[in-house]
Chain A
Amino acid sequence: MVKWTEEERRIIRGVWEKVDIDEIGEELWARALIVYPWIDRYFGSFGDIFTTTAILKNPKLAALGKVVLSALDTAVKNMDNVKAMYAPLSRQHYEKIKVDPDNFRLLAECITITIACKLRAELNPQVQATWQKFLSAVVEAMNSQYK
């Protein structure tokens, strides 16, 4: 289980407060699907997801972005219990959706880069390190039921 200091909790909540779930929810797919295009294997029924313009207008991706970031919101609010909270999600992604777990790492990177574009210098080295530690814990939790 990951241990969080008071300072780390403050930092993670501080970053999350600044995230507009609707805005980031769309932009993160633009980064993920353009930078790592093989991810589109999971989006066969989503329609046009092949250009940034199409991605940003795609209602299914917008909805999914909201779902993903709401789940992240749950993680922020339950930092001490992410693994347990995410067990059903992990199992779902393994058994039903059959997602290669490396994609969780790629998506986490895209989330961080998108946040870097918004927060800029506010994402100082210490904040970056703490935020990445948090996302690593989330990625690990998403991996946990792949067995």
Chain B
Amino acid sequence: MNRAQRGAAGSRGLGTMEVKSKFGAEFRRFSLERSKPGKFEEFYGLLQHVHKIPNVDVLVGYTDIHGDLLPINNDDNYHKAVSTANPLLRIFIQRKEDADYSAFGTDTMTRKKNVLSNVLRPDNHKKKPHIVISMPQDFRPVSSIIDVDILPETHRRVRLYKYGTDKPLGFYIRDGSSVRVTPHGLEKVPGIFISRLVPGGLAQSTGLLAVNDEVLEVNGIEVSGKSLDQVTDMMIANSRNLIITVRPANQRNNVVRNSRTSGSSGHSTESSLPSSTPNLLGSVLQAEEESDEEDIIIEDSGEPQHIPKAAPTSESIESLSQIELLHESTQNGFLPSSEVNLNHSAGSINMEYEVPEPGPKSLEEDGTIITL
């Protein structure tokens, strides 16, 4: 099969579909009938066959259109993988014994430094495996509560991952007033509140936001003093990765934590946000900058590609590694302090890479997907 033919087949998107499978350092290419993908068992067998690993237990994953690494372990997600593959289906195979479950999920491909180094070179990365509770049931997080350790108990910082889901964010905000404690006593100040949740929307489905919750921050920027329209614009501008800090209207379901033993963050019961949060969150924000924005370029009417970053400055890498840390930890429910050493290596990895959706002209197609 020469390159031109493959390109044509890929862009036509009918009939057969190209599959590129990777196990360890080896690639296999083959094609599948798009209309009749068959069952997962058969596919699993086929993979074992083409990689000549008939008796090895493996985990199968694929990258979806957003660049996330998602598992294939039943007929449903197998069919989903086949139907969404465009133009080719990228498969990653790991041995079950050294599988890294944290590799799966949102932003996995952009966190490639550690994720992919784990996937590709499992043997040279001798870290302790995570405590595996079960296979991820939900393939991609849709929301999370973050920064629990640094926020006052009355506040909640919620991250909504619009990225990768078709669900609308699905909420409305309004103006209102809240009561603050000031040196002059109680004072009524204007505030922004959640006014409505759309049934079936992302916000409602998370259960983390409710009507009449007061919005305090949007992606680390305080909203006090800003108009409803400004806050609306800020939320929409951040809609692909929205982090909102709220004071829930219902304070009974707050996370009860022992702030004395958690160590890293002591100040928690003040009514205003601790001064350290903007910095920490600022780094989160920068992380989002790197991951949430992927503009698409179409060259000469070819295939759409993500626009790569030009060589980043050293500081952004630093901040990136720090965010990784936060991000990772919150995802797995750990406090960052326990994992600090885990990602130290990340800072030294060059960020430049080709996005793993090569158009027909990409010269790197047959090589590794990371350009170091």
- Asked if A pairs with B, the answer is no
